[in-house]
């Protein structure tokens, strides 16, 4: 038999002025289960809490109702008071008679009092069905997995590792560095990207707490926050990294030439290669798709020239398993392919290039030694047209969002062009110039003045060839006229798009992604680095387009989250989670669909007395469950219960007034 104690608070005058508190106390005393009821000026004060503690002991109370302010305000305070009296803190219910009664019915004391009574009755009825709950503690494996070795992944890995937490950094390509390693200079300061990135790359390689696994992919993730098991497929590199010194003899002698991804295909690399000279690890890998030895069994030159004998053509893919506690996903972005812009002649005219191709050309270590050239004839261009928002902000072409970085990098490109080709002239077709960021607007303004670039506001409608020039026709919205610009080279500021593999990765990790393929954060404002799945965090462009400073901040935020998660040996969790009654569960698995966190799996259990008959039922991982109750309402056979908000509790509330 439940023994409920009710404590009604005056909240100074906040409640007492508009609700007849003694009358409320008298009313609740009429309820059968209420064995003690009293009032006090400030229940949340020390003496108030003391009254609760004393009454629990004196009247052997089994649950407590405090009628006071919103539970969002003082629920924790009163729970602690219960704990102090040796009572389970979850036997508390709060009747919100301040925000829900006294403050909103100030003109009608009688009605406010009536409502306060009903709210108390409801809280008492609910508390009768309250059960003892215990905080869930989940053990934690203190090791983090970082997926992606671009600047986001590098920063996150370094920050976590600096806190002496082991990190596994998985990179798909042979070297870390990512897109940033392809950049020449960075806006708005025009730092050399390589100069600021490579030291960090070297740090990663030499950090005692970082295990770098390049040329590999995550293929499976099991478990839940603090207790994940990851399987990583390490692709065969055909080079023994342990013995290889990175001398370069092999790739110098390799006869097979392949388009060089690092330089956007502008020049060639070999079939055995390191992506770029500063690569980390600076060991070559064999491109199995092009190596004639692997394809046809003929050649073997690299093995002959390698005096360490590091080449091993029989090497197989390898599966590496690691136990980890948290994941940082930093898979970056892809450049959007502008082929759909047929009106620009993309694909037909050689002298239309993308911004990243331009970036590679003007890069000091690029294929053209830092001088932009026309792909058609190798001449240095004089008139260069930059077209912004190619793909971005264009619903017709499929990308509705702003790619955020194009305004800035195009500005940077006009500067770089001006530096490299002094007598050149740049034209920029733009929709808006979005330069929100520290020093960004100043950078744009200064560039416009310094380079004398012509900015034309409007979309380009057509590009056609006239002799060896390209004619760019577009509208200048500011004068309301169609303009045509004669260009030697056209540079398209193509959109940032989500990595093509993101949906696969998201499914593999059990997290969600948006319609563009960007991975979804748990809350757009308040939980921007967490995903809906506990223990998986997002850094960089994999979540949405962003520039380097933002990416680095988010990566560091991820690191802070991971360190916070690993602060104790176990994680404490609210016990308001769902659980399954196996006997009632019919195994329809509809709840699996409704759970946004993937907290529900299935298991085969024997039901009933001594039964050996196995039945498939749902199983809730309380480490992952966030307690939304979606599964509870979905479950037709009421096999699922959400602690703290059980059917009994809610129906008790409904029928109590």
Partner 1 sequence: MSVETFVTDKAGLQKFYEAVMASRETYAPVEKFGKFDFKRVARVTECDPESPIAKTQSIKPLFFPRSAKVMKFVATSAGTDVSETDEDPLAVKRAILGVKHCDARSLQVLDKVYNWDYIDTDYQKRRENTVIISTRCDRADTHCFCTSLDYDVENLDALDVLIVNGSDGKIYIKARTPKGESFLKETVTGQASPVTDEIASPDLKKQYDAFAGSFRLKMDYKEVNAKLSKIFDTPEFENVSGNCVSCNTCAFVCPTCHCFKISDEKVKDTGVRYKSYDSCNNGYFTLMAGGHNPRPVKYRRWRQRAMHKFVYYKERFGENLCVGCGKCTIACPVNISIFEVVNQVSAAGVQE
Partner 2 sequence: MEAEVKDQLVSIEKPELIAPPNWEPVIMGILCNWCSYAGSDLTGTSRIQYPPNIRIIRVPCSSRVDPWFLIKSLQTTADGVLVSGCHPGDCHYISGNYFARRRFLVTKKLLNFVGFHENRIQFSWVSAAEGPKFAKVVNKVTEDIKKLGPLHLYKKENFEK
Partner 3 sequence: MNYTKEIQDIAAKLFAEGKIDVFVGYRVNGFDDNQVPVLITDPQDVSKLVFTDKSVFNLVNYLKNDHTRRKRVGLVVKGCDSRSLNLMLTESQVKRENLYVVGICCEGVVDEAGQKMQNCTDCMVPDAVVSDELLGTPSGSDTLSGSYKMNADIAMLAEKPLTERAAYFEEVFENCIRCNACRHSCPLCYCAKCCIDQETATLYNGANTTSGAFHALMTWSLHLAGRCVDCRNCEKACPSHLPLHLLHKQNESVIYENFQEHLAGVVTGDRGAFYKYSLKDPDDFIM
User: Residue 549 and residue 404: Cα distance in Å, rounded?
Assistant: 13
| Chosen from partner 2, partner 1, partner 3, none, partner binding at 164 (C-beta under 5 to 8 Å by type) | none
CA 313 vs CA 150, 239, 310: distances in Å: 29, 8, 10
Structure tokens at 603: 């298991």
Per CB under 8 A, does 588 bind partner 3? yes
Residue 526, number of CB atoms within 10 A of its CB: 8
The reply to whether omega before 273 is within 30° of 0 (cis) is no
| Chosen from partner 3, partner 1, partner 2, none, partner binding at 380 (C-beta under 5 to 8 Å by type) | none
Per CB under 8 A, does 27 bind partner 2? no
Between the two ends of the chain, the Cα-to-Cα distance in Å is 20
Residue 233, number of CB atoms within 10 A of its CB: 17
10 Å CB burial of residue 523 (0-12, 13-18, 19+) is: exposed
Mention every residue, 6+ apart, whose C-beta is less than 8 A from residue 423.
382
Residue (of 33, 97, 42, 109) closest to 69 by Cα position: 97
| Chosen from partner 1, partner 3, partner 2, none, partner binding at 149 (C-beta under 5 to 8 Å by type) | none
Residue 22 Cβ vs partner 1, minimum distance, rounded to whole Å: 16
Choices 25-33, 92-100, 220-228, 298-306; region in contact with partner 1 by CB under 8 A: 25-33
| Chosen from partner 2, partner 1, partner 3, none, partner binding at 590 (C-beta under 5 to 8 Å by type) | partner 3
Per CB under 8 A, does 181 bind partner 3? no
User: Residue 81 and residue 88: Cα distance in Å, rounded?
Assistant: 10
Per CB under 8 A, does 32 bind partner 1? yes
User: Residue 423 and residue 566: Cα distance in Å, rounded?
Assistant: 57
β-bridge pairing 489-494 and 383-390: parallel
Angle at 95 between CA 90 and CA 99, to 5 degrees: 130
Residue (of 119, 121, 168) closest to 147 by Cα position: 168
Per CB under 8 A, does 124 bind partner 3? no
Nearer to partner 2, 245 or 638 (CB): 638
Per-residue b/e over 315-333, b at no fewer than 16 CB within 10 Å?
A: beeeeeebebbbbbbbbbb
Residues 411, 414, 626, 641: which binds partner 2 (CB under 8 A)?
A: 626
Residues 58, 106, 369, 581: which binds partner 2 (CB under 8 A)?
A: 106
| Chosen from partner 1, partner 3, partner 2, none, partner binding at 608 (C-beta under 5 to 8 Å by type) | partner 1
Per CB under 8 A, does 138 bind partner 2? no
Residues 139, 549, 608, 637: which binds partner 1 (CB under 8 A)?
A: 608
Nearer to partner 3, 288 or 594 (CB): 594
Per CB under 8 A, does 584 bind partner 3? yes
Residue 93 Cβ vs partner 3, minimum distance, rounded to whole Å: 16
Choices 31-39, 181-189, 460-468, 512-520; region in contact with partner 1 by CB under 8 A: 31-39
Choices 117-125, 389-397, 411-419, 485-493; region in contact with partner 2 by CB under 8 A: 117-125
- Per-residue contact flags (x/-) with partner 2 for residues 74 to 103, judged by CB under 8 A: ----------------------x-xxxx-x
Choices 413-421, 429-437, 537-545, 620-628; region in contact with partner 2 by CB under 8 A: 620-628
- Per-residue contact flags (x/-) with partner 3 for residues 527 to 566, judged by CB under 8 A: ----------------------------------------
The distance from CA 542 to its chain's CA centroid, rounded to whole angstroms, is 7
Q: How many residues bind partner 2 (CB under 8 A)?
A: 48
User: Residue 644 and residue 650: Cα distance in Å, rounded?
Assistant: 9
10 Å CB burial of residue 402 (0-12, 13-18, 19+) is: middle
Residues 124, 632, 639, 641: which binds partner 2 (CB under 8 A)?
A: 632
Per CB under 8 A, does 583 bind partner 3? yes
Residue 50 Cβ vs partner 1, minimum distance, rounded to whole Å: 25
User: Residue 449 and residue 454: Cα distance in Å, rounded?
Assistant: 10
Q: Which residues bind partner 3 (CB under 8 A)?
A: 583-590, 593-594, 607, 616, 634, 636-639, 647-648, 651-652, 655
Q: Which residues bind partner 1 (CB under 8 A)?
A: 29-32, 34, 121, 608-609, 655-657
């Amino acid at each position: 038999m439940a023994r409920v104690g009710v404590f009604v608070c005056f909240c100074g005058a906040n409640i007492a002025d508009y609700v007849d508190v003694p009358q409320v106390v008298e009313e609740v005393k009429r309820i059968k289960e209420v064995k003690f009821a009293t009032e006090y000026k400030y229940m949340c004060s020390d003496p108030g809490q003391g009254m609760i503690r004393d009454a629990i002991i004196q009247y052997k109370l089994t649950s407590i109702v405090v009628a006071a302010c919103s539970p969002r305000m003082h629920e924790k305070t009163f729970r602690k008071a219960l704990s102090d009296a040796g009572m389970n803190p979850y036997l508390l219910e709060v009747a919100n008679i301040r925000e829900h009664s006294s403050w909103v019915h100030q003109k009608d004391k009688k009605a406010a009092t009536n409502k306060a009574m009903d709210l108390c009755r409801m809280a008492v009825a609910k508390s009768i069905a309250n059960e003892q709950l215990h905080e869930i503690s989940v053990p934690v494996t203190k090791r983090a997995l970082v997926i992606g070795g671009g600047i986001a992944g590098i920063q996150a890995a370094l920050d976590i590792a600096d806190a002496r937490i082991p990190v596994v950094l998985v990179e798909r390509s042979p070297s870390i560095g990512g897109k940033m390693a392809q950049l020449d200079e960075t806006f708005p300061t025009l730092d050399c990207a390589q100069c600021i990135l490579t030291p960090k790359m070297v740090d990663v390689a030499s950090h005692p707490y970082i295990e770098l696994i390049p040329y590999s992919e995550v293929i499976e993730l099991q478990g839940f926050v603090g207790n994940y098991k990851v399987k990583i497929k390490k692709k065969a590199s055909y080079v023994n990294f342990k013995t290889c010194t990175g001398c370069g003899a092999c790739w110098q002698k390799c006869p097979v030439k392949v388009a060089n991804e690092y330089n956007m295909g502008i020049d060639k690399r070999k079939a055995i290669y390191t992506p770029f000279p500063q690569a980390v690890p600076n060991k070559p890998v064999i491109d199995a798709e092009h190596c004639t030895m692997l394809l046809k069994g003929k050649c073997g030159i690299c093995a002959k020239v390698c005096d360490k004998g590091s080449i091993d053509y029989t090497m197989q893919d390898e599966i590496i398993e690691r136990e980890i506690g948290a994941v940082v996903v930093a898979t970056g972005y892809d450049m959007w392919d502008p082929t759909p812009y047929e009106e620009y002649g993309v694909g037909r005219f050689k002298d239309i290039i993308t911004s990243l191709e331009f970036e590679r050309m003007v890069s000091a270590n690029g294929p053209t030694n830092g001088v932009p050239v026309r792909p058609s004839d190798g001449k240095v261009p004089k008139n260069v047209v930059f077209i912004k928002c190619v793909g971005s902000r264009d619903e017709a072409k499929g990308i509705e969002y702003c790619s955020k970085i194009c305004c800035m990098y195009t500005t940077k490109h006009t500067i770089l062009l001006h530096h490299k080709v002094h007598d050149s002239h740049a034209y920029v077709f733009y929709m808006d110039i979005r330069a929100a960021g520290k020093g960004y607007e100043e950078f744009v303004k200064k560039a416009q003045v310094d380079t004398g670039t012509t900015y034309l506001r409007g979309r380009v409608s057509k590009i056609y060839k006239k002799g060896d020039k390209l004619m760019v026709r577009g509208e200048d919205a500011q004068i309301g006229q169609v303009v045509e610009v004669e260009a030697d080279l056209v540079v398209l500021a193509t959109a940032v798009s989500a990595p093509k593999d993101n949906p696969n990765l998201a499914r593999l990790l059990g997290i969600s992604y948006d319609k563009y393929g960007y991975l979804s954060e748990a809350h757009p404002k308040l939980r921007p680095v967490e995903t809906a799945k506990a223990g998986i965090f997002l850094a960089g462009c994999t979540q949405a387009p962003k520039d380097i400073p933002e990416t680095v901040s988010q990566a560091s935020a991820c690191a802070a989250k991971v360190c916070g998660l690993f602060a104790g040996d176990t994680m404490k969790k609210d016990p308001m989670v769902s659980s399954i009654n196996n006997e009632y569960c019919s195994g329809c698995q509809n709840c699996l669909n409704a759970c946004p966190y993937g907290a529900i799996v299935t298991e085969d259990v024997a039901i009933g007395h001594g039964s050996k008959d196995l039945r498939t039922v749902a199983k809730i991982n309380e480490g992952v469950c966030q307690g939304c109750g979606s599964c509870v309402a979905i479950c037709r056979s009421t096999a699922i219960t959400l602690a703290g908000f059980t059917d009994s509790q809610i129906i008790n509330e409904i029928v109590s007034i």
